[in-house]
Amino acid sequence: MAIDLRISQLYLARFQSKVLDSSVKVIQHIIRGIDSFTDITGRAVSWLTLLMVVLTVIIVVLRYYFESGSIALQESITYLHGVVFMLGIAFTLQRGGHVRVDIFYRGFSARKKALVDLIGGILLLLPVCLLIFIFSLDYVLASWSIGETSEESSGIAGIYLLKTLLLLMPATLILQGIAETLRNLLILMNKPDVALTDHIEPML
């Protein structure tokens, strides 16, 4: 009986180990997928900053050298500015670029940092993003329902598109927040393969 019990325990331990390894691989696959999406969108959005500079120069030249201007061109700067900041937030989170008060955090071990980030993600980041999405939904839908446009007759006829960023921002941040939460979970599980952003090239 004792031998049979030990054999059963051995098979159970092996089964649990295989299930755990499979779960870790699935989690890593999810994290890598989200990271790739955030990386691609973040890099794409970053190019809009160059476009903003070019448009600003054009606006200045038209105003001061040709005494001309375009309301739509000026509003386009606001649109691009909104896209860069609202859709670049998840990318910044992925890179650890958000401001944090790290007087104590900087001295923590990797596991303690992972625990703090895990708790912060579950109790603060994800719930706040979800609330932003929920409270913004009716506001954005109302704008779409009337096809809200600029108050200026020659402005951009797409205010509803700009307001849609109020939904896209929390959605992308929730997505990356899930990836960061899972990443921290792997660190707490003492899994060696947790550097899941190594495949992402640093920004120049």
Residue 147 lies in a domain: yes
The highest-confidence range among 72-76, 101-105, 190-194, by mean pLDDT, is: 72-76
Question: Span 137-153, mean pLDDT?
Answer: 90
pLDDT band, residue 54 (cuts 50/70/90): very high
Residue 89 lies in a domain: yes
Domain that holds residue 152: 2-188
Residue 7 lies in a domain: yes
Q: Name the domain count of the chain.
A: 1
Token code pair at residue 192: 């060696």
Provide the total of helices (H) and of strands (E) in the chain, helices listed first: 6, 0
Beta strands (DSSP E) in 67-166 are none
Question: Span 1-16, mean pLDDT?
Answer: 56
Residue 194 lies in a domain: no
Q: What is the DSSP string of 57-88?
A: HHHHHHHHHSS---HHHHHHHHHHHHHHHHHH
